[in-house]
């Protein structure tokens, strides 16, 4: 359990904190105010399977839904399964859901397989919407036999517009071990884990909608399927 206010974030005991700092090579939990935080960003995915279909429909990528603990620019750290903290002196470039939305849009663009892709904004209409929920997005230091690992887990739903019908739903996750000390190693693990999830999401979305359109081409009034 957790609360989101800065004053009420649960901080681990001194012994657990000392072990965490040692394992993380200098990464610490939220502490007193100090110098401006270092800002980190993640990259979009740019490599995909060669057999991905090229599609002629439009997709709107909505901002992922997230819990209050994840809907922040702070970098979450879990020293145990039931404890939550945030890395001191470090921030994401934006709130995690919005940052991930941007990287998802860029990943679809990098696939070169879709006619039009965009964010959910006023007045923008797509043939389909990609809804998602960010369920796990943290670095963990409590798994036995690991130096620390990053876990990213997201649920995705494809919505046909304008009916709002859910065509398909799935969950993708990726865990990457932190290979080294300090924040650079942590961020590399985040980048690899999120990249793996985004690649699967892009490929699943394109293939799922194309399969649906081919199967229902007659009732949808589509030609060429």
Q: What is the pLDDT of residues 202-221, one digit of tens each?
A: 999 999 999 999 888 788 87
Q: Does the CA dihedral 141-147-148-149 come out positive or negative?
A: negative
What are the b/e assignments for 182-198, b being 16+ CB within 10 Å? ebebbbbbbbbbbbbbb
The predicted pLDDT at position 35 comes to 81
Q: Which residue has the higher pLDDT, 22 or 41?
A: 41
Whether the per-residue pLDDT at 26 is higher than 60: the answer is no
The predicted pLDDT at position 8 comes to 31
- DSSP bridge partners of 122: none
Whether the per-residue pLDDT at 194 is higher than 90: the answer is yes
CB of 12 closer than 8 Å to CB of 20 = yes
Confidence of residue 189 (pLDDT cuts 50, 70, 90): very high
In angstroms, what CA-CA distances link 89 with 70, 93, 183? 17, 13, 10
- Give a yes or no: residue 165 inside a domain: yes
Q: Which residue has the higher pLDDT, 221 or 37?
A: 37
- Give a yes or no: residue 160 inside a domain: yes
For the chain, give percent helix, strand, coil, nearest 5. Answer: 30, 35, 35
The two tokens of residue 34 are: 């100090």
Specify the CATH number for the domain of residue 142: 3.40.50.10610
CA 92, CA 60: separation in Å to the nearest integer?
A: 24
Total domain count, the chain: 1
Whether the per-residue pLDDT at 25 is higher than 60: the answer is no
The predicted pLDDT at position 36 comes to 87
- Give a yes or no: residue 177 inside a domain: yes
- Give a yes or no: residue 1 inside a domain: no
- Give a yes or no: residue 225 inside a domain: no
φ/ψ of 133, rounded to 5, equals -130, 125
- Give a yes or no: residue 38 inside a domain: yes
CA 106, CA 162: separation in Å to the nearest integer?
A: 24
- Percent of the chain at pLDDT above 90? 68
Domain that holds residue 71: 6-220
Contacts of 157 (CB under 8 A, 6+ apart): 130, 131, 132, 166, 168, 169
**pLDDT tens readout for residues 110-147:** 999 998 898 876 566 789 999 999 999 999 998 766 68
Q: Which residue has the higher pLDDT, 65 or 25?
A: 65
| pLDDT average, residue stretch 70-78 | 97
CB of 200 closer than 8 Å to CB of 208 = no
- Give a yes or no: residue 191 inside a domain: yes
Tell me what the pLDDT averaged over the chain comes to.
85
The predicted pLDDT at position 121 comes to 67
């Amino acid at each position: 359990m957790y609360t989101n206010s800065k004053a009420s974030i649960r901080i681990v005991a001194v012994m657990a904190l000392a072990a965490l700092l040692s394992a993380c090579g200098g990464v610490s939990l939220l502490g007193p105010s100090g110098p401006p935080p270092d800002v980190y960003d993640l990259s979009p995915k740019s490599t995909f399977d060669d057999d991905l279909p090229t599609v002629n429909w439009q997709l709107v990528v909505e901002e992922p839904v997230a819990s209050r603990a994840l809907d922040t620019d702070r970098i979450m750290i879990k020293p145990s399964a039931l404890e939550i903290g945030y890395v001191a002196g470090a921030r994401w470039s934006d709130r995690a859901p919005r940052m991930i939305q941007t990287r998802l849009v860029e990943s679809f663009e990098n696939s070169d397989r879709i006619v039009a892709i965009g964010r959910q904004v006023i007045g923008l209409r797509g043939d389909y919407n990609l809804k998602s929920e960010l369920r796990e997005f943290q670095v963990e230091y409590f798994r036995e036999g690991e130096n620390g690992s990053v876990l990213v887990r997201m649920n995705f739903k494809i919505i046909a517009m304008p009916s709002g019908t859910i065509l398909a739903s799935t969950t993708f996750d990726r865990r990457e071990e932190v290979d080294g000390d300090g924040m650079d190693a942590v961020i590399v693990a985040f980048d690899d884990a999120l990249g793996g999830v985004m690649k699967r999401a892009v490929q699943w979305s394109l293939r799922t909608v194309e399969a649906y359109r081919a199967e229902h081409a007659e009732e949808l009034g589509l030609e060429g399927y």
